[in-house]
Amino acid sequence: MDEKSKQLKNHTKDSGEKLTTNQGVGINDNQNTASAGERGPSLLEDFIMREKITHFDHERVPERIVHARGSGAHGYFEAYDSCEDITKADFLKKGKKTPVFVRFSTVAGFRGSADTARDVRGFAIKFYTEEGIFDMVGNNIPVFFIQDAIKFPDLIHAVKPEPHNEVPQAASAHDNFYDFISLTPEAMHMMMWVMSDRAIPRSLSMMEGFGIHTFRFINKAGESHLVKFHLKPKLGVHGLVWDEAVKIMGNDPDFHRKDLWEAIEDGHFPEWEFGVQAIKEGEEDKLSFDVLDATKLWPEEEIPIRMLGKMVLDRNPDNFFAETEQAAFHPGHVVPGIDFTNDPLLQGRLFSYTDTQLIRLGGPNFAEIPINRPINPNHNNQRDGYMRQTINKGRVNYEPNSLADGKPAEVPEDKGGFVSYPEPMSSVKVRKRPESFKDHYTQARLFVNSMTPPEKQHIIDALSFELGKVEHKHIHAKMVDHFNHIDHDMAVAIADNIGVTPPSSSAANEDYTKTSDALSMEKNQKDTIEARKVAILVADGFDGAAVESLTKYLKSQGAKAEIIAKKLGMVKAADGSTMEVDKSLPTVDAVLYDSVFLPGGADSVNTLKKQGAILYFVNQMYKHCKGIAATGEAIEILKASDIKDVNYSNTDLKEDQGIVTAGETSDKFFKAYKDAIKKRHWSREENQDMIPA
């Protein structure tokens, strides 16, 4: 067990044998309030009822003002090779293992909102290092909407539900947001990312993570490197289809939360590589953008990522509130070897995070909440305040002192004391954006240039949808004008979709044709189906051997198969054997699975091809461009669906648009099916309109 888990264990409690009050008095009757006679008034003296109701009345703390909806997990970070040339941070030394707690979140929705809303995802990591806590409080998108923290309350007011009627929930598709954005050109780069499939992730374990701001690494010699933090998921980056994300919101609003929980319970531990892009202090002057501007990324092709270690999440929390909800992150929690830059967005955040914990967690002692405690000893002269847990001994609570031998004493730099990087400063007091922050369109164009055609189309579709929900026409026109500064074709396509006169000529820098493959999800796919879920649709008389062999294959690949039939209980195979049904058809939906397998078996197929729910299931799989497989008679189900113009075979192995058919399962069939599951088949999007619903 790691140090953090051991520490937490001291605070965990099983439910126990005897029911008692908080004062430890045994409760004899937990069903009836004490009253003056059976039908008389309740007695104020009933301390058991009073204590219980009072505690209940105070169960809630304010949700986070942003990132209210989140899910957390424990794990560890393990450093690869030494990177002492760039940082003296102890936890990054070769082979070191550090406990972590990670919280993923959406930004705009309330605590009870649906997981699959279109939104940026928070990606906050607490590293419990031996030199204190380092929090990397990042997102799944490498840039931000604004350049200066003073704009943050406006941005968040604009995106959250509108104040007069508190709608819409967890959605940016409304007038206030686009009114603000249309008047904030610096947001355009981020808008391209938020309208891409990155903002509707398939899984929290299939997202990249970014520190966004430029931080500093400081080595033992005191030299500074400017760095950007990155996390790359082992499973690759995958998104949902918008229609699918919307349907998941109704079918399973806890989709991401459950997916993370189940992956860990099943032993498919989510994993990332953690690394930095690093440049020597001074080299930033050669770049075409300002490293202090959080709306800019550093193209990976120009400044490659140096991988420093891997992070694995391998333990679910014991209690959501105590751990995930009470976790208090702060980008200002850094350890020696890591320091800040003057990014004005970061500087504002350094104020905001402690401030927000004071109201959310009720006072200055939130660092004593078990999930927030460092694993190394911490001593100082901070005392008292609401809910103080530590019992500090002795009479001395000040420094310098002689009565306690001057302790706790300041720590010299070579013993791990934090020393700020001595960046030279000399300037006049101003309120002014630097000129170097003023190019808002070039990197937005770089992002769009780097997309594959389907990825670009999805951005067009998303913006057409979002603006389609906006009622004020002048906002439409203003947004199209911004798009025309990024990519003329995109602007024309969106204008056409939302009834705006398309711009006649491009206002974009057409000579800028640079691309960065690292920005595309499609161009960086991985050959894995680990943690994917496959639905197997059956009725009595199905081909049991096919189901058994496929299930075994999927398991060997780390994927999960679920047998779905009309009712729970046992279902009979054609050879007379039986199998247990995992889920009944009315409790599931195609959008909750990555793929569908239809086994043969004449009786089963005859039953299934007449069920609307089955045909709808298959249609949805097709519409959302997911892998589909059928063996033997089951191609009849495909034929009965609305899928047209696909090459099937009930004898030979055929693969067409991610639809794999064969007479029976075989190694070749499995390989073809794996390829079909691991990615989406965008060529089908041309035929999407013919699928009802």
- Segment contacting ligand HDE by CB under 6 A, of 31-39, 166-174, 345-353, 545-553: 345-353
Contacts of 440 (CB under 8 A, 6+ apart): 185, 186, 188, 189, 295
* Cis status of the peptide bond prior to 253, with omega within 30 of 0: no
Contact at 8 Å (CB) between 77 and 100? yes
132: left (phi over 0), alpha (psi -120 to 50) or beta: left
Size of interface with ligand HDE, in residues (CB under 6 A)? 25
Structure token pair of residue 266: 């099943």
> Shortest Cβ distance from residue 31 to ligand HDE (Å)?
39
Beta bridge mates, 279: 226
User: Which is the catalytic residue, given 67, 74, 230, 485?
Assistant: 67
- Segment contacting ligand HDE by CB under 6 A, of 25-33, 65-73, 158-166, 252-260: 65-73
* Cis status of the peptide bond prior to 408, with omega within 30 of 0: yes
Calculate the CA dihedral of residues 266, 309, 257, 463 and round it to 10 degrees.
Answer: -130
64 binds ligand HDE (CB under 6 A): yes
Cα separation of 281 and 268, whole Å? 40
539 binds ligand HDE (CB under 6 A): no
Residue whose CB is less far from ligand HDE, 211 or 544:
211
Cα separation of 217 and 251, whole Å? 45
66 binds ligand HDE (CB under 6 A): yes
60: annotated binding-site residue?
A: no
257 binds ligand HDE (CB under 6 A): no
Assign 74 to helix, strand or coil: strand
By C-alpha distance, which of 589, 600, 599 is closest to 626?
A: 589
By C-alpha distance, which of 462, 495, 562 is closest to 241?
A: 462
272 binds ligand HDE (CB under 6 A): no
Assign 595 to helix, strand or coil: strand
Residue whose CB is less far from ligand HDE, 132 or 138:
138
532: annotated binding-site residue?
A: no
67 binds ligand HDE (CB under 6 A): yes
Q: Which pairing describes strands 271-280 and 595-598: parallel, antiparallel, or unpaired?
A: unpaired
Residue whose CB is less far from ligand HDE, 135 or 633:
135
Q: Which residue is nearest to ligand HDE (CB)?
A: 122
180 binds ligand HDE (CB under 6 A): no
69: annotated binding-site residue?
A: no
Structure token pair of residue 680: 């989406």
> Shortest Cβ distance from residue 49 to ligand HDE (Å)?
35
Place of tokens 């026109």: 477
139 assigned to active site: yes
Q: Which of 109, 132, 138, 599 binds ligand HDE (CB under 6 A)?
A: 138
348 binds ligand HDE (CB under 6 A): yes
CA distance to 218, 346, 420, per residue, from 340 (Å):
10, 8, 9
Q: Which of 77, 101, 134, 144 binds ligand HDE (CB under 6 A)?
A: 144
342 assigned to active site: no
137 binds ligand HDE (CB under 6 A): yes
Contact at 8 Å (CB) between 34 and 45? yes
Map the footprint of ligand HDE across residues 97-126, applying CB under 6 A.
103, 105, 122, 124
Q: Which of 117, 149, 190, 521 binds ligand HDE (CB under 6 A)?
A: 149
460 binds ligand HDE (CB under 6 A): no
Contact at 8 Å (CB) between 87 and 103? no
Contacts of 266 (CB under 8 A, 6+ apart): 531, 560
Q: Which of 257, 296, 349, 678 binds ligand HDE (CB under 6 A)?
A: 349
> Shortest Cβ distance from residue 67 to ligand HDE (Å)?
3
Map the footprint of ligand HDE across residues 478-517, applying CB under 6 A.
none
Residue whose CB is less far from ligand HDE, 69 or 674:
69
CA distance to 268, 273, 365, 594, per residue, from 530 (Å):
7, 17, 41, 11
327 binds ligand HDE (CB under 6 A): yes
64: annotated binding-site residue?
A: yes
Cα separation of 541 and 340, whole Å? 65
Residue whose CB is less far from ligand HDE, 313 or 634:
313
> Shortest Cβ distance from residue 150 to ligand HDE (Å)?
8
Contact at 8 Å (CB) between 649 and 635? yes
Structure token pair of residue 303: 């400044």
Residue whose CB is less far from ligand HDE, 327 or 500:
327
Structure token pair of residue 222: 């005191």
User: Which is the catalytic residue, given 74, 139, 189, 225?
Assistant: 139
| Burial class for 67, CB neighbours closer than 10 Å (0-12, 13-18, 19+) | buried
Structure token pair of residue 514: 């640079």
360: annotated binding-site residue?
A: yes
- Segment contacting ligand HDE by CB under 6 A, of 91-99, 321-329, 464-472, 539-547: 321-329
356 binds ligand HDE (CB under 6 A): yes
Q: Which of 8, 49, 70, 184 binds ligand HDE (CB under 6 A)?
A: 70
> Shortest Cβ distance from residue 191 to ligand HDE (Å)?
15
> Shortest Cβ distance from residue 78 to ligand HDE (Å)?
23
Q: Which of 329, 366, 593, 670 binds ligand HDE (CB under 6 A)?
A: 329
Give the length of the chain: 693
Q: Which of 139, 172, 520, 607 binds ligand HDE (CB under 6 A)?
A: 139
Map the footprint of ligand HDE across residues 192-251, applying CB under 6 A.
212
684: annotated binding-site residue?
A: no
Calculate the CA dihedral of residues 395, 396, 397, 402 and round it to 10 degrees.
Answer: 170
Contact at 8 Å (CB) between 97 and 120? no
In the annotated binding site, the residues are: 64, 103, 152, 349, 353, 360
In the annotated binding site for heme, the residues are: 64, 103, 152, 349, 353, 360
Provide the annotated active-site residues.
Answer: 67, 139
Positions that interact with ligand HDE (CB under 6 A): 64-67, 70, 103, 105, 122, 124, 137-139, 144, 149, 152, 212, 327-329, 345, 348-349, 352-353, 356
